[in-house]
Amino acid sequence: MKHIYSLFACLLIGTATFAQLPNGSIAPDFTATDIDGVEHNLYDLLDEGKKVIIDFSATWCGPCWNYHTNGVFEELYETYGPDGTDELRIFWIEADDTTTEADLNGTGTATQGDWVTGTSFPIIDDGGSIFDDYAGAYYPTIYTVCPNRIVTESGQVDVAGHAAIFQANDCAAASLPNDPALLSYTGGTTACPGEPVNLSVEMMNLGVSNLQYCTIAVMEGGTELLSYDWSGNLDTYGIANVDLGSASFDASTDFTIEITSGDDNDVNNSSTGAVELATEGTSLIKVEIMTDNWPAEISWNISDDGGNVIESVEEGEVSGAEGDVIVWWVSVPETGCYTFTMNDAYGDGLAGEQWGSIAGSCTVKTYNDDLTFISTIFDYDGSYDFESVSAGMSVTSVNVSIEEQSLNQVTRVFPNPFVGQTNLQFSTIQSGAASIVVYNLVGEQLINDNLGTLAAGEYNHVIDFNGVSAGVYLIHLTAGGETTTMRATLK
């Protein structure tokens, strides 16, 4: 449903940012048959040296119709298409599979007009799966794909704007014998003092001959951190992820990765990377998430420096309504370097305001045995999109696990003081009957919330003080065979 919402959020507010396939990504291949019965394969066209423009649209989309009918694509196709210089192909892809053939021809109920008559380039219907492969979030989304498979979101520019992209030197088809190119850094991004970080880079062969060897160096300023001699047999436009080795960092560091062996084109011989020094903390970690309206899209994990997952929550496991606060306590087993990673299946993080929901949040903090706050590892306020974000932590001391702590140590009231309602957040180590009873200071019972039988885990319960006068109250919690009482102030 976010695709539909985003028509209004993005096309009417042209500066909004959404989770599209980033510029510089490798275009997913697809094979599709157009409405005339002709089959097309993207990579076959790219291997022929063609440049390809893909317009993901929907028949009901007004801005899509305006751009489709303004003549830009017709002029591009006439000048650069099969009857022109023959360097360009254009595909108009109907990416909302709920629309019909009648909509496409302008006679249906979900259409802006006749999309077929007068369109000289191929139209592909029912292209929703291709749109999803390209992480589509709004219509129209217009990409230019170069022969090297690299994507640029070209958008609704004019003829000259499109031509400037696909006629640029870095969009040319392979023509030189020996032309390795570095695309992007793919190695570790977190450094713990004294701990090695694995460094790697994505490399593409842009030469017409198979690439068999090259030398790649990692440089910090004028200092060479390491050098690696790569060998293999990489086809034209083939991609290899090259493991360069490891290096240790005592501070956050930016570096460049460079091909130092001779080749026929040095313009594409470098890339950049960076590592951030991990935040020091303890082994007792609290992950706290306030959800937007799509909590099931979120997953997270904590892994050690060997990639072993210590704790994780999978996609679909987080549920609830927007604004719910969920807490997990994690105890890592030993000191060392760890990484917290948070993923969003849709690619918009918890930035729900753009869809009419709320901005969610996530914090990861470490604590001492007595739940004294030590450090913040990760702090996200829902103000930006992401598919995956991560933060490093250098665990320097091991505390008792949350399972070893009593109920009163893992229960908190927030906000406190509060107006109207507050949250009681707690963890239990075993299943059992649970209830929350609120008393005033003279022992009168005002609220009694029976929570039933709760399994072991982390919980957040909203206590509604509607109709209760301002003052100080005692919140009595029973859970997992234990009891605790917290003071709270209603303003």
* Superfamily designation of domain 2-171: Glutaredoxin (3.40.30.10)
Domain boundaries, the chain: 2-171, 180-277, 280-403, 406-490
pLDDT band at 49 (very low <50, low <70, confident <90, very high): very high
Classify domain 280-403 at the CATH topology level. Answer: Immunoglobulin-like (2.60.40)
Q: Tokens 């392979």 — which residue?
A: 174
pTM (two decimals): 0.65
Beta strands in 102-146, from DSSP E residues, in sequence order:
123-124, 141-145
Planar angle of CA 256, 260, 265, nearest 5 degrees: 100
Task: Please report the sign of the dihedral spanned by the C-alpha atoms of residue 125, residue 128, residue 129, residue 132.
Answer: positive
pLDDT at 204: 93
Q: Which residues of 245-262 are buried (b: 16+ CB within 10 A; e: fewer)?
A: bebebeeebebbbbbeee
pLDDT at 280: 94
Distance CA 234, CA 210 (A): 5
pLDDT band at 245 (very low <50, low <70, confident <90, very high): very high
Domain 180-277, architecture per CATH: Sandwich (2.60)
Task: Please report the sign of the dihedral spanned by the C-alpha atoms of residue 363, residue 367, residue 373, residue 376.
Answer: negative
| Averaged pLDDT score across all residues of the chain | 89
pLDDT digits (tens, 9 = 90+) for 58-101: 999 999 999 999 999 999 999 999 999 999 999 999 999 999 99
Distance CA 230, CA 245 (A): 11
Q: Which residues of 407-432 are buried (b: 16+ CB within 10 A; e: fewer)?
A: bebbbebeeeebeeebbbbbbbbeee
Domain 406-490 belongs in CATH node 2.60.40.3080? yes
pLDDT beyond 80 at 17: no
pLDDT at 357: 94
pLDDT beyond 80 at 320: no
Do domains 2-171 and 406-490 share one topology? The answer is no
pLDDT at 4: 41
Nearest to 154 by CA among 71, 55, 78: 55
pLDDT at 400: 60
Nearest to 408 by CA among 431, 424, 432, 422: 424
pLDDT digits (tens, 9 = 90+) for 171-208: 989 999 999 999 999 998 888 888 889 999 999 999 99
Distance CA 232, CA 245 (A): 17
pLDDT digits (tens, 9 = 90+) for 252-288: 999 999 999 999 999 899 999 999 999 999 998 989 9
pLDDT at 326: 83
pLDDT band at 45 (very low <50, low <70, confident <90, very high): very high
Going by the DSSP 8-state scheme, the letter that residue 29 receives in this structure is: P
